[in-house]
Amino acid sequence: MSATLPMAGLTLQPPPRTRHWAIVSPWFLLLAVSIGGTTLALIGPVAQLPSISWSGAGLQALCLVVFWFAYGVGKRISPRVPTRSPSGLEPAHGWITVLLLVGIVGAALQVATKLDVLDGYDLSRIFALRNQRAMQLASAERPGSAGWAGVGFLTYPAGVVGLCGIFRWYEKMYVGRVVLAATFGASLMLMTLLIGGRSPLISCAVLLAGAAVLRVIDGLPVFPRSRALRWSAVLAVIGFLNYSTVIWMVRSDAVQLDAEQFLVHAENAWGMTVRSGFRDVVEPILGIDGVRALAVTSFYISQSTAILERIIAAPASAPMLGMYEADVVAATYRVMAGADAKLLADGNQRLLEANIYGFFSGAWGGLVIDFGYAGAMAAIAAWGWMAGRAWGVALRAPGAPAALMLAFWLAASIWSFATPPLGFSNAAVIFAWFIVFAVFARPSPNRQKSAKVVATQIQIRSRQLAAQNP
């Protein structure tokens, strides 16, 4: 059954059932990632040291409860019955163009500074530079590539937010914006190739998946009906898989260990042991290389449970105040403190001694390192509240600029197995650009006022329809 609102010219459908979308909410994704990682650590292909203790399990449970409570409070700010967004609440799409242009400039600066350092494209050379850079970060040395590289670091994430906006409102984008989005996508790929990693592409893909959830909530297909866009996505996935294979081979060659030696090294240095039953089943089929690949993948996803145990067992130390989680905070501190960056240097040294630095701490462990136990609970409560509020806004008005923030909180739940919300691949700066979009892309006050009048009438009529269609 449907009804038409004469003055608004809108056709209404009965409101969608929110329970259909609950399984892709930030809370359920976080819960699934947490339970999945713990289960994999307990019964997966590898055993890890230290093993999960009652203290570790209790801390994880407490963190989930705090998040759940704050998430529920934030969610209740929005109406319980969702409605389709009136057009007056949609963003000023010109801001998507601005974000893409800023992102293209930022990515170009990153590419230019990387090419200035590299003498030709050599993944082995890039891998060596990455290791050298990691050692500099651990010792809190002042970054030698500040300046234009820093500007690029702060600006290329704007394009990621613009790309999410293009995908979310693809049907309303003109060709010029789509071309800008494609240009930024190519620039991001080139930048990632020169970095020698994959995290910028992974974070972008996860954020785009979050934007797809918004499309579905708003009644749109999960993927725009564009043949060119679909083929581009297929080619991007194929290219990413091939690139990942090449990176794996280069890094394996750099370590100069065969598969058996590598597993022995992982047992001694990482505390990772392949379970005998798993090896007995897999090795005759995939060989020792297959065993190594699956074991490392399992450890990659579930290592945060063991790292949390190391954090609990480590001696009490001063909180790192966001410098462990957010690269931009650590870089700013190094620039400002110069040779006196003692807090960061001492903190990293303690983490190295406890065999924590260089591993995935997970969301809970990373927040404990940065803010201590009490501070971590406050940070988790703030995270839950913002994620719940974004979910409520998305259900009420999925076309509003603020609703795009849901893409970030969905992504944060997914990468919580590795880092806190602002810790994955420049996520703190990406989050800042999401805020910029939510604030500045809001429609004019007159559009908002007229849209609110229509939204009120839609709510009233939607409740009537819901009553008629229990």
Which pLDDT belongs to residue 364?
97
CA-CA distance, 379 to 420, in Å (whole number)?
Answer: 10
Report the distance separating Cα 245 and Cα 118, nearest Å.
22
Residue 256 has pLDDT above 70, yes or no: yes
Q: For position 94, what pLDDT does the model report?
A: 86
- The band of 433, judged by pLDDT with boundaries at 50, 70 and 90, is very high
- Here the tokens at position 19 are 């329970």
Can you give the pLDDT at residue 89?
Answer: 52
pLDDT band at 301 (very low <50, low <70, confident <90, very high): very high
Q: How confident is the model at residue 289 (pLDDT cuts 50, 70, 90)?
A: confident
pTM of the model: 0.86
Per-residue confidence (pLDDT) for residue 6, from 0 to 100: 40
pLDDT of 213 above 60: yes
Say what the pLDDT of residue 15 is.
43
Average pLDDT over residues 10-19: 43
Closest CA to 434 of 203, 174, 109, 171: 203
pLDDT of the residue at 449: 53
For residue 231, what are the domain limits?
Answer: 3-258+347-468
Short-list 433, 381, 439, CA closest to 73: 381
In a domain, 279, yes or no: no
**CA distance readout (Å), 368 to 307, 362, 449:** 12, 10, 43
Average pLDDT, the chain: 83
Q: What is the pLDDT of residue 116?
A: 77
pLDDT score of 73: 93
User: Which position has the higher pLDDT, 412 or 174?
Assistant: 412
Q: Looking at residue 148, what is its pLDDT? A: 81
Q: Is 315 exposed, middle or buried (0-12, 13-18, 19+ CB in 10 A)?
A: exposed
Identify which has the larger pLDDT, 387 or 125: 387
What is the pLDDT, as a whole number, of residue 407?
96
The mean pLDDT of 397-425, rounded to a whole number, is 92
**Quick one: pLDDT band at residue 201, thresholds 50, 70, 90?**
very high
Q: Which of 73-87, 90-104, 419-433 has the lowest mean pLDDT?
A: 73-87
Q: Which of 314-328, 358-372, 452-466 comes out lowest in average pLDDT?
A: 452-466
Evaluate if residue 230 carries a pLDDT over 50: yes
CA angle 408, 412, 414 (to 5 degrees): 120
**CA 221 to each of CA 14, 169, 201, 215: distance values in angstroms, whole numbers, following the listed order:** 19, 11, 23, 7
Residue 410 counted as domain residue: yes
pLDDT score, position 92: 73
| Total number of domains in the chain | 1
Q: Per-residue pLDDT averaged across 124-144, rounded?
A: 63
353-401, pLDDT tens digit by residue? 899 988 999 999 999 999 999 999 999 999 999 999 999 888 888 888 8
Domain-located, residue 91: yes
Interatomic CA distance for residues 253 and 245, integer angstroms: 12
Joined tokens for residue 28: 């359920």
Domain-located, residue 321: no
- What pLDDT does residue 22 have? 64
Is the predicted pLDDT of residue 305 greater than 90, yes or no?
Answer: yes
Task: Flag whether 337 is in a domain.
Answer: no
pLDDT for res 446:
55
Q: What is the pLDDT of residue 249?
A: 72
**Rg of the chain taking only CA atoms, in angstroms:** 24
Q: What long-range pairs does 336-343 form, CB within 8 A, spacing at least 24?
A: 338/142, 339/142, 341/140, 341/142, 343/318
- pLDDT for res 417: 94
H or E element at residue 209: helix 199-217
134 pLDDT band, cuts 50/70/90, is low
How far is the C-alpha of 375 from the C-alpha of 438, rounded, in Å?
Answer: 27
Residue 425 lies in a domain: yes
Q: Has residue 271 been placed in a domain?
A: no
Enter the tokens of residue 341. Answer: 């960056």
What's the average model confidence in pLDDT over 313-335?
Answer: 87
Q: Is residue 265 part of a domain?
A: no
> 157-161, 250-254, 290-294: lowest mean pLDDT where?
250-254
> Is residue 68 scored above 90 in pLDDT?
yes
The pLDDT of residue 462 is: 56
